Every structure is written in C-alpha cells, then in structure tokens.
Amino acid sequence: DAGVIQSPRHEVTEMGQEVTLRCKPISGHDYLFWYRQTMMRGLELLIYFNNNVPIDDSGMPEDRFSAKMPNASFSTLKIQPSEPRDSAVYFCASSRIGPLGYTFGSGTRLTVV
Amino acid sequence: DQQVKQNSPSLSVQEGRISILNCDYTNSMFDYFLWYKKYPAEGPTFLISISSIKDKNEDGRFTVFLNKSAKHLSLHIVPSQPGDSAVYFCAAREGAQKLVFGQGTRLTINP
C-alpha cells in the first residue's frame, strides 16, 4: 500500500494565480479530508468527503477555495486566485469509518509570493 | 472558537525522563480523543487513542489520560527517547468521522 499520495510536494506561485493540489487516497477508504496547517491554528479541517460526496465544507476559508472528488481515487483542492495568506502546508488524509484515525499524506507546502 | 487547545507550543525533556503533553477541549460531545505525531516534512501519524468512556489507555511507553470533568487529556511518554522528538497533535472526534485538531506541541528530547 503506497499510502496517501499528494502532489506536488512544494508549490511556489505568484499572487493571483490559480493553484491546484492533488490527492490520491488509500484504496478502500471511504473518507477523504483536506487540512491546512498553520502556526496559529494547527491543523484546520477545510472539507471532507464520504464516498466522493462533500459532507462538510464549513472550514473552507472563502469562495476562492474549492474542492472536488470526481472518483474514489482522486481529489483536488483549488485556490483561485491565490493570496500570500494562503501560504501553508496542505494535507490530505483518508480513512475508513471508525475511531482509529486517519492516514495522512506527506503534504504540499504552498508558498504564494 | 478553538475547540481543542494545546497551550504549550514547545516542551523540552531530558532523555530517560517523563514527557507530559497536555490538551484541553470545550465540546462535551467529543467521543474519541487521539494523539498524532509529526516529523518534519512528513504527514502526522496516529499514535494512540482513547474513548470518552475510559480514563486511561496504555500502549508501551505511551499512556493517554482523560479527565472528562476537567475536559482535559494528557499524553505521557516514559521513558523519553531521542526519536520521540517531534510535533504532537491532540485531536478529538466530532460526529461520524470528523477530527478537530489542536495547534500542536513541539517536543524536544535532550541527550
């Protein structure tokens, strides 16, 4: 099992550009989560999906952020237009139902200049 | 606003001694609590969990304690080892599968 795969590992972009982050969850996992890590707030949940359907997007900062899960093996998080305050590490995680927690990917470090 | 809080951004402990990481929460509806460990340039990895109906769970050198009346949990690591140096996140489960995380505590184990 290759685990949760995120791409790219690093992204540097200019303010105003569109950014797309990608995630491949573990096969068989029903849930997919997008988190953002910041110093002030730690790991913030942005959105999560169950069986490819968005369940809770209350953590998405504003309309500039959108996420899709077109099938069970792929999800994207898009920021358009990007701003310097979006600079953070973005993590994708997946899980089955149950209390044992998630498996996280290695993250995408986004820098908006 | 922050439902799960880790008030100590960092902790330094001597190798072989006990490390105690603390976490406070506000939502009494949380039913599971978890600790995650994160090394630089890697994603967080699951360490240990505890159900809200228990007050202690132990796994080797790691023990998690839950005090529901105080809405407080702690992670004890005994004895601490250099490989334990990492950022530790406390998390609580809300609803079917949603985890709410704290800000993290950076633990440094000194030789």
User: Is the pLDDT reported for residue B17 higher than 80?
Assistant: yes
pLDDT tier, A99 (very low <50, low <70, confident <90, very high otherwise) = low
- Give percent above pLDDT 70 in chain B: 100
| pLDDT for A1 | 64
| pLDDT for B102 | 93
Q: Which residues of A touch B91 (CB under 8 A)?
A: 43, 101
Tens digit of each residue's pLDDT (9 = 90 or more) over B53-70: 999 999 999 999 999 999
User: Is the pLDDT reported for residue A100 higher than 80?
Assistant: no
Q: What is the mean pLDDT of residues B10-31?
A: 96
Q: Any chain A CB within 8 A of the CB of B53?
A: no
**SS3 sequence, A42-97?**
EEEEEEEEECCEEEECCCCCCCCEEEEEEECCEEEEEECCCCHHHCEEEEEEEECC
The CA–CA distances, whole Å, from B8 to A19, A77, B24, B45, B48 equal 33, 31, 11, 20, 20
Mutation site, A31, A37, A57, interface B, largest B CB count within 10 A: A37
Q: What is the mean pLDDT of residues B42-46?
A: 94
- Give the minimum alpha-carbon distance from B8 to chain A in angstroms, rounded to a whole number: 12
Q: Out of B43, B46, B102, name the one closest to residue A42 (CB).
A: B102
User: Is the pLDDT reported for residue A89 higher than 90?
Assistant: yes
Whether residue A95 contacts residue A107, with contact meaning beta carbons closer than 8 Å, is answered with: no
User: Is the pLDDT reported for residue B44 higher than 90?
Assistant: yes
User: Is the pLDDT reported for residue A87 higher than 80?
Assistant: yes
Whether residue B36 contacts residue A101, with contact meaning beta carbons closer than 8 Å, is answered with: yes
